[in-house]
Amino acid sequence: MTLSAFLHRVVDILDDCQIPYMLTGSLAAAYYATPRATKDIDIVFETDEAGIDRLVGRLREAGLYVDRGAAIEALRSHGQFNAIDPLSGWKVDLIVRKERAFSQTEFGRRSHATILGIDASLASLEDVLISKLEWSILGDSELQRRDVTELLERAWHGIDLEYVEGWVSELGLRPAWEALRERAVERPPNGRSTD
């Protein structure tokens, strides 16, 4: 199974279960600017316990391994659980939307896009950038820092900096943001370096 086929299966299940969601993480970053190999799909969603039961049931029917207990715990703690295709090893991390203001705003800003040939709900460029910036600190992740830098370099002219700056201040991300902005090379719309 290809990543595209796996994504299509998961998106169809979410749509059929009428569960609002958005793609985020590496796949969303790849859509905007930073393609790299990944075995995971990150999806933020919101639902209730009945929705979790529908989702888990449909994922299992599709042949994916998923633990209902982990799914219920994720719902209660606003955490995450995963579903894995045992044949291909593809994995989707299903992340329950947090209650904080940024998470609510980010979810409300999602839009539809075609990614890997599939119409799906996708986090905005700015929200992918902010989330990856936050993860770069939480996990002390050079990979996340590199994604932020590449998003800045390749999509600079499409970024609503006022929006990003507001959440950077609100979420206490200023030192990391300033360091990564310095590291990034601002590029004009044609993609050529300004050096």
Give per-residue pLDDT as tens, 127-172.
999 999 998 888 777 888 888 988 998 888 889 999 999 999 999 9
Q: Which domain holds residue 140?
A: 126-183
Number of domains in the chain: 2
Q: Is residue 53 part of a domain?
A: yes
Q: Among candidates 25, 15, 85, 27, which has minimal Cα distance to 51?
A: 15
CA 143 to CA 158: how far, in whole Å?
A: 22
Please indicate, yes or no, whether residues 60 and 90 belong to a single structural domain of this protein: yes
Please indicate, yes or no, whether residues 111 and 162 belong to a single structural domain of this protein: no
CA 195 to CA 186: how far, in whole Å?
A: 9
Please indicate, yes or no, whether residues 119 and 132 belong to a single structural domain of this protein: no
Q: Is residue 20 part of a domain?
A: yes
CA 73 to CA 79: how far, in whole Å?
A: 8
Please indicate, yes or no, whether residues 94 and 14 belong to a single structural domain of this protein: yes
Among 87, 104, 123, residue at a domain's last position: 123
Please indicate, yes or no, whether residues 143 and 172 belong to a single structural domain of this protein: yes
Please indicate, yes or no, whether residues 153 and 91 belong to a single structural domain of this protein: no
Contact 44, 24 (CB under 8 A): yes
Please indicate, yes or no, whether residues 83 and 160 belong to a single structural domain of this protein: no
Q: Is residue 189 part of a domain?
A: no
- Summarised one tens digit per residue, pLDDT across range 101-126 is 999 999 999 999 999 899 999 999 99
Q: Is residue 79 part of a domain?
A: yes
**DSSP per-residue letters across 89-113:** --EEEEEEPPSSHHHHHHHHT-EEE
- DSSP-assigned letter for residue 184: S
User: What's the predicted TM-score (pTM) here?
Assistant: 0.88
What is the pLDDT, as a whole number, of residue 189?
47
Q: Can you name the residues that pair with 121 across neighbouring β-strands?
A: 112
Q: Among candidates 178, 181, 175, which has minimal Cα distance to 156?
A: 181
- Summarised one tens digit per residue, pLDDT across range 15-71 is 999 999 999 998 999 899 867 666 789 999 999 999 999 999 999 999 999 999 999
Please indicate, yes or no, whether residues 8 and 91 belong to a single structural domain of this protein: yes
**Per-residue confidence at 182, pLDDT binned at 50, 70, 90?**
confident
Please indicate, yes or no, whether residues 16 and 70 belong to a single structural domain of this protein: yes
**Per-residue confidence at 193, pLDDT binned at 50, 70, 90?**
very low
Q: Is residue 69 part of a domain?
A: yes
Burial 117-151 (b: 16+ CB within 10 A, else e): ebebbbbbbbbbbbbbbbbbbeeeeeebbbbbbbb
Average pLDDT on 75-86 reads 96
CA 169 to CA 106: how far, in whole Å?
A: 16
Please indicate, yes or no, whether residues 42 and 115 belong to a single structural domain of this protein: yes
Please indicate, yes or no, whether residues 157 and 92 belong to a single structural domain of this protein: no
